[in-house]
Amino acid sequence: MTRLLDLPTLAQLVRNVGPADFLRQLAAQIEADFQRWPAFEKNARLAHHCAQGVIELMPISDGARYSFKFVNGHPGNPAQGLPTVMAFGVLADMATGTPLLLAEATLLTALRTAATSALAARVLARPDSRCMALIGNGAQGEFQALAFHTLLGITQLRLYDPDPQASAKLQRNLAALGLPVHITLAASIDEAIAGADIITTATAAKAHAALFGTAQLTPGQHLNAIGGDCPGKTELPPEVLRAARIFVEYAPQTRIEGEIQQLPAEHPVTELWQVLSGQAPGRQSAADITLFDSVGFALEDHAALCLVQRLAQEWQLGHDIALVPSAGGPKDLFRALR
């Protein structure tokens, strides 16, 4: 049987564990899997584009377990009352091919994106970072705020979104959560990022955007760019990229989809697993401008699905479904029709 975790069940699981503790456990699981990077069979995700957006499949395996995620990205969806991103994931046993888990992954993607961002910032941002500017206050905003407060100790947030209602929504949700951070609603991107220790960009528009240039940056800032995640969709101009030391998840995928799609293929980047495993340096000085060019990688979803499977068993959540034929009469598939 396959364990099913739908959205209400996954949300209940996160509430049971506690959102902050769930993010801590998720970041630890992602870090552990990044540190065993060579064990995974990896490839860039398979994407099918249309005028309205993209649908992607993200597969990966460590030889014992296989996972994939179905995910879309349609920036125009909110005008139709639909989320920009919708996803589900599958975790399977490699030895038999049996699907072990079918899980909601829209909420899970938001959580793993935030956990990965904060995990990267722990080795790339200055240790004394306390102020973060958050440019783009849509569906990812609350998760980024919670993760950076929980894992890095961020106590000041400066919010900017061209839609004031998005910033107001984010402020309300953080207040309801009781997150002890001071929130400033900035009137412009320049006001939000001026002197901020960390700048997170999480915009949704499919365009080659230039949210800010090098003139607005301060030595020592860490840039967490998570909005650019497909060909033709970026947030930062090439001048900012060239001014930063760049870190990525999986270079073959990021060179297609990330900010660095704007740079020559030979431009040097460092993969995050190399830093987490001690094979490459992260931040080297207080004056470094570091950039985590994050597009989302299947290993992070694999880690998230493995964690969710374990926690669901501990909390006895979800239910089994007959997604595939059960044991008994394996050569008689027709019996399912009788």
What is the per-residue pLDDT for 333?
Answer: 85
Ramachandran area for residue 108 (φ above 0: left; ψ -120 to 50: alpha; else beta): alpha
Please indicate whether residue 128 is annotated as part of the active site: no
The pair of three-digit structure tokens given for residue 271, joined into one six-digit string: 């993969």
What is the per-residue pLDDT for 147?
Answer: 98
CA gap 105, 178 in Å, rounded: 25
CA gap 261, 293 in Å, rounded: 10
Angle, helices 141-152/19-34, rounded to nearest 10 degrees: 80
pLDDT of the chain along its 338 residues, tens only?
999 999 999 999 999 999 999 999 999 999 999 999 999 999 999 999 999 999 999 999 999 999 999 999 898 998 999 998 899 999 999 999 999 999 999 999 999 999 999 999 999 999 999 999 999 999 999 999 999 999 999 999 999 999 999 999 999 999 999 999 999 999 999 999 999 999 999 998 888 999 999 999 999 999 999 998 889 999 999 999 999 999 999 999 999 999 999 999 999 999 999 999 999 999 999 999 999 999 999 999 999 999 999 999 999 999 999 999 876 777 888 888 87
What is the per-residue pLDDT for 332?
Answer: 82
| Exposure b/e, 246-278, CB count within 10 A at least 16 = b | bbbbbbebbbebbbbbbbeeeeebbbbbebbee
CA gap 242, 236 in Å, rounded: 11
Query: How many other C-beta atoms can be found within 10 angstroms of the C-beta atom of residue 64?
Result: 9
Query: How many other C-beta atoms can be found within 10 angstroms of the C-beta atom of residue 322?
Result: 9
CA gap 25, 17 in Å, rounded: 10
Amino acid code (one letter) for 188: S
Q: Which residue among the candidates 33, 62, 161, 229 is catalytic per the annotation?
A: 229
The pair of three-digit structure tokens given for residue 245, joined into one six-digit string: 């030391």
CA gap 110, 102 in Å, rounded: 17
